[in-house]
Structures are given as C-alpha cells and as structure tokens.
Amino acid sequence: MPVIFAAHGAPILLDDSVWMGELGSWAGSMPRPGSVLMVSAHWEERPATLGATHPVPLVYDFGGFPDRYYQTKYPAPGAPALAARVRELMGAAGIAVADDPARGLDHGAYVPLVAMYPQADVPVLQISMPGLDAQQLFKLGRALAPLRDEGVLIFGSGFLTHNMRYAFRPGIPAWAREFDNWAQGALSHFDVDALVDFQNRAPSARMALPTWEHYAPVLVAAGAVTEAQPVVKFPITGWWMDGAFTRRSVQFG
C-alpha cells in the first residue's frame, strides 16, 4: 500500500463538492485497503494510544457549527486485529502503547474518510501522536511500516500550513506560498532530515505553523516509507480559507 498525508479540512469540507470529489477520486486511484490506520492532528496523547475498535464512534471535536455537522455518521467497522498487530510492532520497536476503547474518530479522521470511503466499509483504527517530538514521530512511522505489506493504508491527516489568524483574509500570504513551495521540494526529494528539522530549515515556518500539530502527521507518514527514493505524488493542491491553508496532500509510493 502507499502511505498518504491528507489536508483534512474541517466539518464544512463535507459541503465542498469539489474537494470531496478530489478525495474520492484519490481513493479510487489507490489499491483498496484492507484497513486504515489513522494519525490525526487532533489526537495527541502519551504514550501512543489506540482508539476504539468496537464500535468506532465519532468525536465532534469542534464548536459553533450548524447542527447538521453534529449529525454526521460514519459507522466504520472496528479493526481489532490491526490493533493487535500495531501493539506487536510497537513492542518490537520499544515504543510504549496504551488503549482507550472509548475514543472515537475525530473530525481530522472521519471527514476525509467520508469522502474517500463513503460506504464506511473499511475497518479504521486511530492512533494518537505521542507528543510533538519530530524524531519520535518519524520513529513511530518506521515501526508501523510493515503494515504496508499487509494491506493497511497508513493515513496521516493534518495541514502543511495552519495559521488560524489568517483564515478568510483575502489573498494567499507570502509566508504560506514560501512554506508550501519548500514542503513540495522537501517531500518530492524525500529529504527526511529537512522534513524532521523543518522549524530550522523551512522559510516562514513560525508563521505557517504557530503550533505544529497539523504538520506532525506527515512525519509519521514519512517514517513509514521504506523506499530510499519513493515515488511522491501530490493528488490535491491549492488553497483554502482564502489562502491561509494549503490543501497540498501527499502520496508516497
């Protein structure tokens, strides 16, 4: 299976027919996964924690939206066998793991899945990010890499730029273009050192990511890439919220 990182939008993405269509087309271009292991920017918990396997509820982790967004359903099958395999791999890598059987899929997880696998017939397991240590996030992805050969889609979900102070301001800020261009280059060349050390190497990193939890899932995804020079594609590009957020999404392999 490939490894992917998707810009996940917000609940209002569900009403964006163009973006939903792009996500659906992307899913259709990939092999159908046997299950999905989701790493969302919206769940950070130490140690790395596995979410619900049966049933898999949703977490409406947002406020101030119209009521219909709190009525969204996505009854994905649980993935207990995948959870057991993840525990095995993480144990072998010396990475602590815990369980939270009540923790459902947050909007960073279920919103893109509604577009990509709308029948909710692919088993899904969410795993938390165990803090914001770039090297440790990459190491987590590396530990999970064998899942690719087992039909599992390792799915990072976040944003490569995320500065809410600039949401809905007209025009694409220069800092957003600078960071997005840098990210395109670093990802295309699979420059792991640059991706991990982005705060020091990327232009406008502090403006693009005042906090960087939305970037973090791309490090897990990159860690799961075992090819020395993978084929890198950008199935979705462009801008959202008048340019404060790049929609750049990535497929490795």
d(CA 177, CA 244) in angstroms, rounded, equals 9
Residue 143: both structure tokens together: 């530990």
d(CA 190, CA 195) in angstroms, rounded, equals 8
Q: Where are the beta strands (DSSP E) in the chain?
A: 3-7, 35-40, 48-50, 97-99, 124-126, 152-158, 232-236, 239-240, 245-246, 249-252
Question: What are phi and psi for residue 62, nearest 5 degrees?
Answer: -160, 160
* Non-local CB neighbours of 67 within 8 Å, separated by 6+ positions: none
Q: What is the pTM assigned to this prediction?
A: 0.97
Element (H, E) at 188: helix 174-188
Average pLDDT over residues 181-186: 98
pLDDT at 243: 81
Q: What is the pLDDT of residues 195-204, one digit of tens each?
A: 999 999 999 9
d(CA 48, CA 137) in angstroms, rounded, equals 10
Q: Is 94 exposed, middle or buried (0-12, 13-18, 19+ CB in 10 A)?
A: exposed
Q: What is the pLDDT of residues 94-150, one digit of tens each?
A: 999 999 999 999 999 999 999 999 999 999 999 999 999 999 999 999 999 999 999
Residue 178: both structure tokens together: 């600078």
Q: What is the pLDDT of residues 202-218, one digit of tens each?
A: 999 999 999 999 999 99
Q: 53, 48, 42: which is closest to 89 by C-alpha?
A: 48
Mean pLDDT taken over the chain:
97
Which residue blocks in 34-154 are alpha helix, DSSP H?
Answer: 80-92, 107-116, 134-144
Which domains does the chain possess?
3-252 (3.40.830.10)
pLDDT at 9: 87
Q: 234, 228, 227: which is closest to 251 by C-alpha?
A: 234
pLDDT at 242: 82
Most distant pair of Cα atoms in the chain: their distance: 49
